[in-house]
């Protein structure tokens, strides 16, 4: 019988299930536990503590959890456990039918989920494969034909493989719809419906979504049976582990600000978010000229290039990843210490997604937003969304450091890399040490024409902002930016102290 999602039984609060928070208290196979130890996980995240026992009990689950909460392990560990009884070393594809199907909205997410599931399954004989579009089908076809127990796929490419009879989904026992809300946003509903129609009716279905819109509830109502609702707090909206700073910086000073913060806070790696593809490519080149190992991640890059950039970043071969929102959606980088919003995002929701790249799974992180005076409305939107007062601090660029004269000067100089001597004996890279450009520049020297371009105005801008502009400014403010924004004294920014909460 199919139930209304509203009827979904809600799992008990985390406190009630969090007691045995260690993985070795779970009835998991020793091979899986070993892989968890290898991955360095010590205790379960809240979604894992709640969902794993429920999935092990064969119940359908509606999980309200985003990427970054540890949800991949929350669904894949119990599914792998249930599949262990099928584990075998046979070379025959017939002995390795697809038993678990994970559908994900984007190639990046699919790849990321596959990397994690492979980590958890590494000591078992269970085979894990991932198929997504934008790359050659042949290697995927060969892998499918050899047989895989866990298949992670984006809907479009999976349908291609189904049509070509490269895989048979007749023995699927477990289905995971990951980031279901984004799958619907992208317009995958018809594809999902088709795929689900090929699957056996008797199966366990898990649906994860950051939001539960009426469409998602309808999807759950149609495809889940007696689901248990498992909820955890959004990891990023108000993650206490993420320090959020907002600096008021002129466009032409933004790049220098990033470099200075990296040095002052000894930040090894960061993602720098920008609002446009063109901006990402240009900024990445400029950071390269500053001596930072930089890669750009945006929609004009091929899938292969994007995956390579991501892999290089994860391997620590790249210091800065300059990314647009679309390209960076769902990417997961463990231990990412910092995120910069070089441009304030046009949508406040994107701010939440961006800063969710850091401070994951309980780690601490910092999210720094560089705002110009023109960004007041956008900052006000973020303030409303995160329901938190934003302190917009002035940022003081160190004037005693040499500054670049102008762009031509950059072009003449060979890109400067971190000298070898700045690497530790073991070859590991110490905290970022930026190279000092040799020429001192006048204060307002333009560095790159891109940074002088005004922001594109949002054509759907709310008229509320215009009304707010007339609102009184906080006493002592040097900015007329927003009545919501309280400016701080310069010294706070200089000392890099924490925002008081
Ligand atoms: P996910 O939400 O599944 O994308 O996971 C986010 C990140 O948290 C990934 O890098 C995982 O490797 C990591 N992670 C998942 N579970 C744990 C855990 N119990 N302890 C530490 N890290 C974890």
Question: What is the four-CA torsion angle of 159, 160, 165, 167, rounded to 10 degrees?
Answer: -60
Question: Terminus-to-terminus CA distance in the chain, angstroms?
Answer: 49
Q: Whose CA is nearest to atom 16 of ligand 1?
A: 70
Domain of residue 295 covers 242-394
**Quick one: tokens of 269?**
């790696």
CA distance 151 to 128: 6
Q: What is the pLDDT of residue 332?
A: 64
Question: What is the four-CA torsion angle of 418, 422, 424, 430, rounded to 10 degrees?
Answer: -70
In a domain, 421, yes or no: no
Q: What is the distance in A from the centroid of ligand 1 to the CA of 114?
A: 13
Using a 10 angstrom Cβ sphere, with 0-12 exposed, 13-18 middle and 19 or more buried, the burial of residue 455 is middle
Cβ atoms of residues 66 and 210 within 8 Å: yes
Q: What is the distance in A from the centroid of ligand 1 to the CA of 172?
A: 26
Residue 333 CA, closest ligand 1 atom number: 10
- In this structure, the answer to whether residues 65 and 204 fall within a common structural domain is yes
* 351: number of Cβ within 10 Å: 28
pLDDT in tens, 248-274: 999 999 999 999 999 988 888 999 999
CA distance 462 to 443: 35
Q: Whose CA is nearest to atom 11 of ligand 1?
A: 70
Cβ atoms of residues 161 and 141 within 8 Å: yes
CA-to-CA separations, 200 to 98, 276, 380, 386, 476, in angstroms, rounded: 12, 44, 49, 42, 67
- In this structure, the answer to whether residues 181 and 274 fall within a common structural domain is no
3-state secondary structure 233-256: CCCCCCCCCEEEEEEECCHHHHHH
Q: What is the distance in A from the centroid of ligand 1 to the CA of 225?
A: 27
Q: What is the distance in A from the centroid of ligand 1 to the CA of 39?
A: 9
- In this structure, the answer to whether residues 209 and 331 fall within a common structural domain is no
In a domain, 416, yes or no: no
Q: Which residues of the chain fall below pLDDT 70?
A: 1-20, 233-241, 299, 326-335, 359-364, 399-501
Q: Probe ligand 1: pick from 50, 52, 66, 70, max atoms within 8 Å of CB?
A: 70
Q: Which of 360, 394, 428 is the last residue of a domain?
A: 394
Q: What is the distance in A from the centroid of ligand 1 to the CA of 96?
A: 27
Q: Whose CA is nearest to atom 19 of ligand 1?
A: 44
Residue 112 CA, closest ligand 1 atom number: 4
> CATH code at 39?
3.40.50.300
Residue 67 CA, closest ligand 1 atom number: 2
- In this structure, the answer to whether residues 383 and 283 fall within a common structural domain is yes
Q: What is the pLDDT of residue 18?
A: 42
Q: Whose CA is nearest to atom 21 of ligand 1?
A: 41
In a domain, 418, yes or no: no
CA distance 459 to 151: 42
CA distance 47 to 74: 6
Q: What is the pLDDT of residue 143?
A: 98
Q: Whose CA is nearest to atom 5 of ligand 1?
A: 70
Q: What is the distance in A from the centroid of ligand 1 to the CA of 450?
A: 37
In a domain, 34, yes or no: yes
Q: What is the distance in A from the centroid of ligand 1 to the CA of 333?
A: 9
Q: Probe ligand 1: pick from 18, 36, 72, 118, max atoms within 8 Å of CB?
A: 72
Cβ atoms of residues 258 and 342 within 8 Å: yes
Residue 39 CA, closest ligand 1 atom number: 12
Q: Whose CA is nearest to atom 18 of ligand 1?
A: 41
Q: Which of 367, 394, 421 is the last residue of a domain?
A: 394
CA distance 35 to 422: 35
- In this structure, the answer to whether residues 217 and 255 fall within a common structural domain is no
Q: What is the pLDDT of residue 92?
A: 97
- In this structure, the answer to whether residues 210 and 73 fall within a common structural domain is yes
Q: What is the distance in A from the centroid of ligand 1 to the CA of 236?
A: 14
- In this structure, the answer to whether residues 256 and 386 fall within a common structural domain is yes
Q: Which residues contact 25 (CB under 8 A, 6 or more apart)?
A: none
* 425: number of Cβ within 10 Å: 5
Residue 45 CA, closest ligand 1 atom number: 19
- In this structure, the answer to whether residues 161 and 29 fall within a common structural domain is yes
- In this structure, the answer to whether residues 221 and 334 fall within a common structural domain is no
Q: Is the dihedral of CA 483, 485, 486, 487 positive or negative?
A: negative
Instruction: Tell me the H-state helices in 248-347.
Output: 254-264, 277-289, 303-314, 325-328
Cβ atoms of residues 95 and 87 within 8 Å: no
Q: Whose CA is nearest to atom 6 of ligand 1?
A: 68
CA-to-CA separations, 494 to 33, 65, 449, in angstroms, rounded: 46, 37, 28
CA distance 345 to 342: 9
**Helical pair 30-39 and 107-121, crossing angle rounded to 10 deg:** 120
The residue count for the chain: 501
Q: Whose CA is nearest to atom 14 of ligand 1?
A: 70
In a domain, 408, yes or no: no
Measuring from each residue's beta carbon to the nearest atom of ligand 1, which residues come in under 6 Å?
41, 44-45, 48, 67-73, 116, 332, 334, 360-361
Q: What is the distance in A from the centroid of ligand 1 to the CA of 40?
A: 10
Q: Which strands, in side-by-side order, build the sheet including 174-177? A: 9-10, 228-231, 61-64, 204-209, 174-177, 100-103, 150-153, 128-131
CA distance 309 to 315: 10
Question: What is the four-CA torsion angle of 297, 130, 28, 176, rounded to 10 degrees?
Answer: 90
pLDDT in tens, 79-138: 999 999 999 999 999 999 999 999 999 888 899 899 999 999 999 999 999 999 989 999
Q: What is the distance in A from the centroid of ligand 1 to the CA of 386?
A: 24
Residue 41 CA, closest ligand 1 atom number: 20
Count CA atoms within 13 Å of residue 178 on its CB side. Answer: 32
In a domain, 352, yes or no: yes
Separation of CA 230 from chain center: 21
- In this structure, the answer to whether residues 255 and 227 fall within a common structural domain is no
* 115: number of Cβ within 10 Å: 16
Q: What is the distance in A from the centroid of ligand 1 to the CA of 68?
A: 6
Q: Whose CA is nearest to atom 13 of ligand 1?
A: 70
Residue 277: name the closest of 250, 249, 298, 252 by CA: 298
In a domain, 26, yes or no: yes
Structural domains counted in the chain: 2
Q: Which of 211, 231, 251 is the last residue of a domain?
A: 231
Cβ atoms of residues 291 and 417 within 8 Å: yes
Q: What is the distance in A from the centroid of ligand 1 to the CA of 356?
A: 13
- Phi–psi pair at 245, nearest 5 degrees: -125, 140
- Phi–psi pair at 85, nearest 5 degrees: -70, -20
Residue 69 CA, closest ligand 1 atom number: 2
Q: What is the distance in A from the centroid of ligand 1 to the CA of 430?
A: 25
**Quick one: tokens of 39?**
């991955």
In a domain, 252, yes or no: yes
- In this structure, the answer to whether residues 183 and 302 fall within a common structural domain is no
- In this structure, the answer to whether residues 339 and 261 fall within a common structural domain is yes
Q: What is the distance in A from the centroid of ligand 1 to the CA of 120?
A: 11
């Amino acid at each position: 019988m199919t139930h209304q999602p509203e009827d979904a039984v809600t799992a008990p609060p985390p406190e009630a299930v969090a007691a045995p928070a260690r993985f070795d208290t779970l009835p998991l196979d020793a091979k899986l536990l070993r892989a968890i130890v290898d991955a360095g996980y010590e205790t379960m995240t809240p979604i894992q503590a709640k969902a794993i026992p429920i999935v092990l009990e064969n119940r359908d689950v509606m999980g309200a959890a985003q990427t970054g909460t540890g949800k991949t392990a929350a669904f894949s560990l119990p599914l792998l456990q249930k599949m262990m009884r099928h584990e075998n070393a046979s070379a025959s594809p017939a002995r390795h039918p697809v038993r678990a199907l994970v559908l994900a909205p984007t190639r990046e997410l699919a790849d990321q989920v596959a990397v994690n599931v492979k980590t958890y399954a590494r000591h078992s004989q269970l085979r894990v494969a991932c198929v997504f579009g934008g790359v050659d089908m042949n290697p995927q076809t060969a892998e499918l034909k050899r047989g895989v127990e866990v298949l992670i796929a984006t809907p479009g490419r999976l349908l291609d493989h189904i049509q070509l009879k490269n895989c048979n989904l007749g023995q699927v026992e477990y289905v995971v719809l990951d980031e279901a809300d984004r799958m619907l946003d992208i317009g995958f509903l018809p594809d999902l419906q088709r795929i689900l129609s090929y699957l056996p009716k008797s199966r366990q279905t898990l649906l994860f979504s950051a939001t539960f819109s009426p469409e998602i509830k309808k999807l759950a109502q149609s495809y889940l049976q007696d689901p248990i609702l498992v909820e955890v707090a959004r990891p990023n909206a108000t993650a206490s582990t993420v320090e959020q700073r907002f600096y008021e910086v002129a466009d032409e000073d933004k790049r220098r600000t990033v470099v200075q913060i990296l040095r002052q806070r000894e930040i090894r790696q960061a993602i720098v978010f920008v609002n446009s593809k063109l901006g990402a490519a240009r900024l990445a080149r400029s950071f390269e000229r500053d001596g930072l190992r930089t890669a750009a991640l945006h929609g004009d890059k091929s899938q292969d290039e994007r995956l390579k950039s991501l892999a290089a970043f994860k391997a620590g071969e790249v210091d800065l990843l300059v990314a647009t929102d679309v390209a960076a959606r769902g990417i997961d980088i463990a231990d990412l210490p910092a995120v910069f919003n070089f441009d304030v995002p046009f949508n406040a929701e994107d701010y939440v997604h961006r800063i969710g790249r850091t401070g994951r799974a309980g780690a601490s992180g910092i999210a720094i937003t560089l705002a110009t005076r023109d960004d007041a409305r956008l900052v006000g939107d973020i303030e409303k969304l995160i329901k938190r007062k934003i302190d917009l601090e002035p940022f003081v660029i160190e004037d005693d450091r040499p500054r670049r004269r102008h762009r031509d000067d950059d072009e003449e100089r060979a890109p400067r890399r971190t000298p070898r001597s700045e690497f530790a004996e073991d070859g590991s890279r110490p905290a970022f040490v930026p190279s000092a450009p040799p020429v001192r520049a006048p204060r307002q020297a333009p560095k790159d024409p891109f940074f002088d371009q005004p922001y594109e105005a949002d054509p759907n801008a709310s008229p509320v902002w215009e009304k707010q502009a007339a609102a009184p400014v906080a006493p002592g403010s040097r900015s007329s930016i927003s009545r919501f924004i309280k400016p701080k004294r310069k010294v706070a920014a200089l000392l890099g102290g924490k925002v008081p909460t």
